[in-house]
Amino acid sequence: MMQTGLAMSILTRATAPAVERSRDDRGMAAVEFALIFPVMLSLMFGMASVTEQLQAVHKIELVANTLADLAAAKTTGGDGLGQAAITDDDLSDIFKAAEFLISPLPKDKLKIDIYQIMISGTMSRKNPYQANAIWRASQNGAALLACGANLKAGTDGNANEISGSLFGTDLGRERFLIVAHVSYDYTPPFGLGQFGWNSPTTTKIFRAGYAQVRNLWSLGLIQNKASGATTCQFSVQ
């Protein structure tokens, strides 16, 4: 009996180190961390990039709406009483406002085109209204809309279309809108090229802002007196 107990004791002491090694899981944590760290890092950078891109979209929308409103608010400077005109000083102030609003994003990627649009009636039953750009001012502009182009009713996301709700005239009279096209080439701040997964890609953000002109002249036209703006030629159907 004593021999059996002695044998068991010797066996226990001999196998104890192997049992302890089989229970030692200290290395597992390091392996798990090494596997999950790249995933967690990519999620963190991805969330940061998405958040900044959403902020960039919001800023571009703000810039487009603000620039259209600033240009449309011009009520003086025209040839006659109650007439308004856009000048180089006005354009300089408008473009400076855009640079302020886009901060802290890089301003050199900002492209601005401001148009005055005339909406008038036509003799066509199929297309009773037409909308034409009568002047254009740009800063690093993308010129997505040709000077004098005839815009179609559509959506705000297409530079050659104008929101259908803005079409129509008041008892056949022309009316005028200011349209601001703002585009921005956005590049995410983080890339995962160091992991060999991908690299930052540039996304073009485009927004259009609209505003009714607010001067007191009967037609509401804002004259072009800016050397930095182009007067457009077009024909009425």
Task: Judge whether 189 lies within some domain.
Answer: yes
In a domain, 21, yes or no: no
**Residue whose C-alpha is closest to residue 77's, from 224, 228, 176, 210:** 224
Domain span at residue 57 reads: 29-231
Q: Read off the pLDDT of residues 217-230 as tens digits, 9 standing for 90 and up.
A: 766 788 899 998 88
Is residue 5 domain-resident?
Answer: no
Radius of gyration of the chain (CA): 33
Instruction: Please give the residue that has the higher pLDDT: either 104 or 6.
Output: 104
Name which of 17-21, 55-59, 122-126, 214-218 the model is least confident about: 17-21
Q: Would residue 236 count as lying in a domain? A: no
Distance CA 51, CA 225 (A): 41
pTM of the model: 0.72
CA distance 37 to 75: 60
Burial pattern 193-230, b for ≥16 Cβ within 10 A else e, equals eeeeeeeeeeeebbbbbbbebebebeebbbbbbbeebb
- Mean pLDDT, the chain, integer: 76
State which of 65-74, 77-86, 186-195 shows the largest mean pLDDT.
65-74
Residue 9 in any domain: the answer is no
Amino acid identity for residue 70 in this structure: L
Structure tokens, 199: 């690299």
Confidence of residue 11 (pLDDT cuts 50, 70, 90): very low
CB 224 within 8 A of CB 231: yes
DSSP 107: G
Whats the size of the chain, residue-wise?
237
What is the number of alpha carbons within 13 Å of residue 112 lying toward its C-beta? Answer: 32
Q: Is residue 4 part of a domain?
A: no
For 65-83, b where at least 16 C-beta lie within 10 A, e where not — what string? bbbbbbbbebeebbeeeeb
Asked if residue 24 belongs to a domain, the reply is no
Contact, 166 vs 119, CB < 8 A? yes
- Rounded CA gap, 100 and 83, in Å? 29
Question: For residue 129, what pLDDT is reported?
Answer: 73
- Whole-number Å distance between alpha carbons of 56 and 176: 29
Q: For the chain, what is the domain count?
A: 1
Note whether residue 6 is domain-resident: no
